[in-house]
């Protein structure tokens, strides 16, 4: 009788162990769930930053530069040696500017011809623009306005009067085969102009 009773009853200690084990398992599971929610798992994320694309563009610029045409003196026949006599001036124009050509009879600065005595000068006084006239007695060009004088044998140097510079001389060229005498330009700036070529009254040549 007592054996049957013992057989049907459960040991209280064993029950406590089973309950305790089950509780422990439940606690562990709850901890996992709660811990996972409380401490979320950190995910490692790789961020790739896209660099801006650099585009190099070469621009070629073409600039047109206008080069001014260089102006030069004209070569112009102004006399023939055989038609000139010593002391007798010839008045003509070169590029529209009035000039005087004369044989001085002595070798002169800038002179041409067989004796180097043919010279030519502007006949406009550099003082105030008066008309310069040749004086064969002194071989000088004389301005009647203030009696300024320029020596034609010494390159037109001023010898008397107000001018403080030479009278502009014509650069000459002599052709020994024909006797022709050509004007090639002036050796200095003329009275009343800033550019002998650009302001020439006439561009015609003979």
What's the CA gap between 81 and 101, in Å, rounded?
10
Cα distance between residue 188 and residue 167, in whole Å = 8
Distance CA 65, CA 88 (A): 52
Q: Tens digit of pLDDT for each residue in 107-161?
A: 999 999 999 999 999 999 999 999 999 999 999 999 999 999 999 999 999 999 9
Inter-residue contact 196 to 186 (CB < 8 Å): yes
Q: Is the pTM of this model over 0.75?
A: no
Structure token digits, residue 62: 């073409």
Q: What is the pLDDT of residues 19-65, one digit of tens each?
A: 555 555 555 555 554 555 555 555 556 666 666 776 777 767 777 77
């Amino acid at each position: 009788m007592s054996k049957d009773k013992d057989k049907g009853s459960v040991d209280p200690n064993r029950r406590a162990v089973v309950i305790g084990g089950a509780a422990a398992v439940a606690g562990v599971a709850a901890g996992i769930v709660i811990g996972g929610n409380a401490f979320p798992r950190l995910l490692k994320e790789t961020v790739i930053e896209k660099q801006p694309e650099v585009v190099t563009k070469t621009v070629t610029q073409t600039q047109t530069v206008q080069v001014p045409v260089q102006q030069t003196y004209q070569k112009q026949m102004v006399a023939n040696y055989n038609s000139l006599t010593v002391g007798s001036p010839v008045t003509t124009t070169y590029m529209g500017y009035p000039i005087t050509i004369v044989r001085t009879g002595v070798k002169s600065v800038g002179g041409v011809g067989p004796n180097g005595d043919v010279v030519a000068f502007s006949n406009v006084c550099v003082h105030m623009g008066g008309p310069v006239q040749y004086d064969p007695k002194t071989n000088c060009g004389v301005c009647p306005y203030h009696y300024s004088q320029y020596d034609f044998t010494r390159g037109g140097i001023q010898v008397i009067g107000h001018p403080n510079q030479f009278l502009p001389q014509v650069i000459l060229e002599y052709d020994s085969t024909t006797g022709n005498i050509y004007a090639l330009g002036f050796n200095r700036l003329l009275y009343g102009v800033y550019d002998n070529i650009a302001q020439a009254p006439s561009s015609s040549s003979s």
